[in-house]
Structure formats: structure tokens, C-alpha cells
Structure 1
Amino acid sequence: MKQAVVIGATSGIGRSLALKLVAAGWRVGVVGRREALLRELKERYPTAFSYAAVDIAQPAACLNALSDLVERMGGMHLCVVCAGTGELNPSLDFTLEEPSILTNVRGWTAVVDWAYNYFEGRGGGDLAVVTSIGGLRGSASAPAYNASKAYQINYVEGLCQRSVQSASNVRIMEIRPGLVDTAMAKGSGLFWVMPVDRVANQALNALLKGRRLIVVTRRWLIVGWILRILPQFLYLRL
């Protein structure tokens, strides 16, 4: 039986992916801050789920918990990093920006490096991370969130380059969603907000095929392309 760890599995895309992996026959370790939600998964599927309740914004404790979880599971073939946070912050209140930096940059980097080193030390494995279409451009209303996702996109590319150059057999995959119907989708006038289940289905199918970049849902490929080519003087006025 293959084993996966899903970091950020208490809700949203992470929780849906964890359930779908179990349905596909995987044993899954779920990680998140809210222990009651993790325990609920364990109680529903006692033999399929293991869990660790920890916050990636506290890297030292998180890495210790992850290592213990993988040891209890007997190994790991796939690690999916879904943990993230972000707030609308038009007033540039740093107390709203700081959690995005601590979670999406500092903690995220710690767990991604941990997973990569784990796989590299064992001759291979699959590391998948959830970024965002928002990382393609800056945002006046959520500057830290979009900036942190841009950081993730570039960091993942660096890991891909490292894997190719070192022939480490660590496969890096990026799941890049548009707007998804979760607590992360904030603001008014949102369009093309996709159901979580649909996003997770497309993401999992692409993951199992080993695709390097997974934009979900597919219509967001169009948005991503437009964002990339849109001149700055036009984008700044949107």
C-alpha cells in the first residue's frame, strides 16, 4: 500500500485530496492545526488515516511531528503541501500580513525542504505543493498573500531545477488553483469560483499521472495566460 502525507488537511483542497487518496487505496497521514477535524477523519477510516496536530507556523515542532508521523506510517511515497493562509488587507495592517508570511513562506519552506530531503535521501518520491494563480501578479487588496504565492511558485521551480540537475528522482508537482469555494476565497464580485470536490478530482488525476504543473480547474489556464501577458500599465488599473 502506498503512503501519502497531506499537510493542511483539516479543510478545503487538502481534506478533499486526503479523502480521495484513501478512496484510491492509499494510507494517508493528515496534518493540520485543528486536532478535532483530524480525529474525525481517523475515526471515519481508522486503518487508513494517521494524523499529527501541529501548526507549520511553528517549524521546529512541526518537523518533529512530521518525522514521527512518517515513522509511525512506515514511510512516505507522496507528500502534498496544502497549508496556507491569507487575508484581504487594503489598509496594510501588518498584523494581518504577518500570518501569511509565517505560514506561506517561513513554515511552508520548512516543510517543503523537509519533504524534499526525505525523498532525496531515499532515492525518490513525489512532492506536490498547492500554490495559487494569485502568485502570478501582485494584489492591492491582499499583497502578502499574492507575494507569498509568487515566492512558492519560484521556490518550486528551483526545486525542480535541483531535482533535474542532481538526478535525485524526486518528482516535483505544482497544483495551481484559481478561485476555489473555500474560506480562502474572500471578497465580493468573485467569478469562476470552483467547487472543492471538482478541483480535488482534477488535481488528483493529474498528480497520479505525474504532471509537473496542474492548473485547476482547466478554465483558469486562460486567466493565468492573460495575467502573464497583460501589460503592467493596464494591470495596475484593474
Structure 2
Amino acid sequence: MRQAIIVGASSGLGWELAIQLADKGYQLGVMGRREALLNELVEKLPGTHFIQATDVSNAEQSQTELEELIARMGDVELIVLSSGVGLFENKLEWAAEREMIDVNVRGFAALTIIAMEHFTRRGAGHLAGISSMAAHIFGAKTVTYHATKAFVSNYLAGMRQRAIRSGLPITITTIEPGFIKTPMVHGNPLWMAPVEKGVTQMVAGLLKKKNHIYITKRWRYVAFVADLMPHWLLRKFL
């Protein structure tokens, strides 16, 4: 039986990803801060699965908890890092910035290291991280969120190169959603996609072991244009 761990499975993309991977026969380890929601999720899934409560903002503790979950499960081949925090910054407040940095940067990097160590010992594996289209642009009221997602995308690109140089069949997938109808997204922005549709595209890309997945697919063209535009021109659209 194929095994996968989803970090950040208690809501949003991680929750739906658990549902769809379980339907495809995966045995899952689900991690998240809200243990009650993880229990509720597992009750909905076919088969037997593993639960591990964790607070990704406590990077070192979450590393230990991921290691313990891997050991309990046995042969994890896929780890998806889905935890993320996005907050508006109408005022520059360190408490809000620190929360995003602790989860989106420190926690993400800490768990990436554990995943890579596991796959190196195993001799193969697949690490996927959920970044954002925000990695390609900047915003006056979302300064820290955009910066943290730029870190995630760049960090995964470096890990992909590291995996290639290792000579081991370790796949690194960068997932960059646009607007998906999850609790993190407010209002009804351009090209909003239902979470089920977004995750269906995500799963298809993961099964094909793609290096990069845009959700939905049309956002790849936005990313391409945004990367080419000079900042003075990009500012006119933000």
C-alpha cells in the first residue's frame, strides 16, 4: 500500500487532498494543529490512517513529530507540506509577520529537511510543497505573505537541484495555487476555483511526479508574464 503524509491536513487544500489520496488507495499520516479536526477527517476516509498533532510554528518540535510519524507508518513515499498562514498587513505588526515567518519559512524549511533525510535513507521519494502564485509578485498589504511564498518556491527549486545531484530518484514538486475557495481567501477574486477542482489537478500532477503544478493550469501564464514584467510596470496592476 502506498503511504503519504500531509502536513496541514486539518483544513483547506490539505483536507481535500487527504480525501482524494485516500480514495486512490493511499494510507495517510495526517498532521495539523487541530487534533479534533484530524480525527473528524480520518473518520471520513476509507481504510486505516495515522494522526499526529503538530504546531508547525514550533519548528524543532514539529521535526520530531514528523520523524515519529514516519517511523510509525513504515514506508512513506510521499510527503506534502501544506501548512501555511496568510494574513493581511494593513498595519505593520511584528506579531502577524512573525506568525507567517514561523509557519511559512521556519516550519516549512525544518520539515523539508526531515523529509529529505527520510527519502535519502529510503533511496527514493517524493516531496511536494504548497507555495502560491504570490511568490511571483508583491503586495503592499501582504508584504510578508508574498515574501514567505517566494522563499518556499525558491527553496524547493534548490532542493530539486540537490536531489538531482544526489543521483537518487527523489522528486520535488512545487505547487503554486492561484485563488482557491478556502478559508484563507476572502471575497470572490479573479479565477476563483472550487477546492475540489484545484486538488483534483494537484493530485493528477503529483501522480505524474511533475516538478511544478499550477492550480488552476491557466495561472502558469500569469506566472510567466509576472516574472518577465519590470517592477515599475507590475506596480500598476497591484
- The TM-score normalised by the length of structure 1 is 0.95
Deviations 1:56-95 (A, max 9, x none): 1112221221122122212201000100001010321222
Please state if 1:63 is matched with 2:63: yes
Shift of 1:232: 1.1
Q: Which runs of 5+ in 2 are unaligned?
A: none
Partner of 1:226: 225
| 3-state DSSP of counterpart to 1:224 | helix
Please state if 1:98 is matched with 2:111: no
How many residues matched?
237
Partner of 1:141: 141
| 3-state DSSP of counterpart to 1:236 | helix
Distance in structure 2 (CA, Å) of the matches to 1:197 and 1:47: 21
Partner of 1:122: 122
Distance in structure 2 (CA, Å) of the matches to 1:96 and 1:190: 23
Distance in structure 1 (CA, Å) of the matches to 2:152 and 2:28: 24
Give the 3 Å change call, closer, same or farther, for CA 55–209 of structure 1 in structure 2: same
Amino acid at match of 1:203: M
Q: Structure 2 matches for 1:200-219, cutoff 5 A?
A: 200-219=199-218
| Worse-matched range after superposition: 141-150 or 65-74 | 65-74
Partner of 1:86: 86
Distance in structure 1 (CA, Å) of the matches to 2:155 and 2:230: 24
Q: Which runs of 5+ in 1 are unaligned?
A: none
| 3-state DSSP of counterpart to 1:108 | helix
Partner of 2:38: 38
Shift of 1:209: 0.5
Distance in structure 2 (CA, Å) of the matches to 1:70 and 1:151: 25
CA contact (8 A) 1:179 1:185 kept: yes
| Worse-matched range after superposition: 131-140 or 60-69 | 60-69
Shift of 1:46: 6.9
| 3-state DSSP of counterpart to 1:47 | coil
Partner of 1:195: 194
| Worse-matched range after superposition: 57-66 or 143-152 | 57-66
Over the matched positions of the two proteins, sequence identity in percent amounts to: 35
Distance in structure 1 (CA, Å) of the matches to 2:66 and 2:94: 30
Partner of 1:19: 19
Distance in structure 2 (CA, Å) of the matches to 1:115 and 1:203: 19
Amino acid at match of 2:180: V
Distance in structure 2 (CA, Å) of the matches to 1:77 and 1:165: 20
CA contact (8 A) 1:181 1:193 kept: yes
CA contact (8 A) 1:41 1:49 kept: no
CA contact (8 A) 2:22 2:46 kept: no
| 3-state DSSP of counterpart to 2:120 | helix
Deviations 1:141-167 (A, max 9, x none): 111100000001110110011111111
CA contact (8 A) 2:31 2:53 kept: yes
Shift of 1:230: 1.9
Instruction: Note the aligned Cα RMSD (angstroms).
Output: 1.3
Distance in structure 2 (CA, Å) of the matches to 1:43 and 1:71: 22
Amino acid at match of 1:57: S
Please state if 1:158 is matched with 2:158: yes
Shift of 1:96: 1.4
